[in-house]
Structures are given as C-alpha cells and as structure tokens.
Structure 1
Amino acid sequence: MTNKPIQPSQTNAYYVQAVISFGLSLTAMTVAVIYLPAPGWVRAFLGLGLLYLVTSTVTLSKVVRDRQELSVVTTRVDQARLDKLIAEHDPFRVTT
C-alpha cells in the first residue's frame, strides 16, 4: 500500500484567467508608457522598468515553483525510506 502525495491541480479556466490577466496588464502598461506625455527618454526608462518587472516576476514564479517541486520530491524520498524501514522491520526477530 503506497500513499501517493496529493498533487495540486489547476483548472483550465484558472490557467486561461491567469494568461489573460497577464496579457491585459502588460498591454495596458505598454500602451500607457507609449502614450505618456513625457520626453522619449522618460518613456524608454519606464519601458525598461516594465520589462525588468515582467522578467523578475517570471523568474520569481519559476523559483517558487521549483522550490515547491523540490519539497515534494524530498517528501517522496523520505516516505520511500520510511516505507522501506517499516517493511524490513521484524518485531518478532530474535537476536542471538
């Protein structure tokens, strides 16, 4: 009898909502920076800031996901070791 860890799941609707939300916010900010009544260098600076923010967010989400996956793998390895110890344990074994 093996207990499989419960995997977090997400629905397709949640995935689509996240993608649309990201796309809309990125588009809105890009349009806002382009039409901002400011000199070109200010808009370029804000555009670079926006690009940096997006790449930082993607990197952060990957790091969080990788850390969560690592904890799941560690839990599986620990569970496998415990299962092996329990399977090999014989409480009625007589040592001589």
Structure 2
Amino acid sequence: MTKPIQPTQTTAFYAQAILSFAVSLSSVVIALVYLPVEGWVRAFLGLGLLYVVTSTVTLCKVVRDRQEQSEVSKRVDQARLDKLLTEHDPFKVST
C-alpha cells in the first residue's frame, strides 16, 4: 500500500502569509487612526475590523477541520477495506 503524498508548506510561504496578514491589519489600523472622523465612527469601524478578523480565523479553522476529518474518514475506510481483503479467502470451501 502506498502512502498518499501530503502537500507541505515551506517556511517561506508560512512567513509570507504571516507578514501579509500583519501588513494588511496594521495598514487598516493606521488608516482608522488617521481617519478624519469622530471617535465613535473610528470605534465602529474598528469593531467591524475585529469582527472580520475573528470570523476569518474561525472560517479557516472550520475549513481545515473539515479537510482533516475527510482525510481521517478516507484512511478508516481504506483500513476496513484492507482488513476485509486480507481476511477473504477465495479458496475456502463453505460447509
């Protein structure tokens, strides 16, 4: 039985994702600080930004969990099939 190839992430890709998130979040926060509006408008937009960030993290976790669950289910199904095939004897005479 061959193992399926698991895609791996490089350190550069991981660093790029973190850096991209940090740059985008900090640029929006700086824009909110220097926005020429009253404080309650900044607070409202900041709260909206916080909601977007937390819901994005939650969505990423849900997608990852669903993918991992499907991979585990495939492995369990493959193990069951392997067990059935090893226990099956086509030359066994039934009595």
TM-score with structure 2 setting the length: 0.96
State yes or no: 1:73 paired with 2:72. yes
Question: Separation in 2 of the partners of 1:76 and 1:5?
Answer: 10
Give the C-alpha shift of residue 4 in structure 1.
2.2
Question: Separation in 2 of the partners of 1:3 and 1:93?
Answer: 29
- Deviation per CA, 1:13-41, whole angstroms, max 9, x where unpaired? 11000000000000000000111011110
Number of residue pairs matched by the alignment: 95
Q: Identity of counterpart residues, as a percentage?
A: 69
Give the C-alpha shift of residue 9 in structure 1.
1.0
Corresponding residue for residue 53 of structure 1? 52
More contact order relative to length (CA 8 Å, sep ≥ 6) = 1
Question: Separation in 2 of the partners of 1:14 and 1:84?
Answer: 39
User: 1:1-16 maps to which residues of 2 (within 5 A)?
Assistant: 2-16=1-15
Query: Structure 1 regions of 5+ residues with no counterpart?
Result: none
Root-mean-square deviation (CA), in Å?
A: 0.8
TM-score with structure 1 setting the length: 0.95
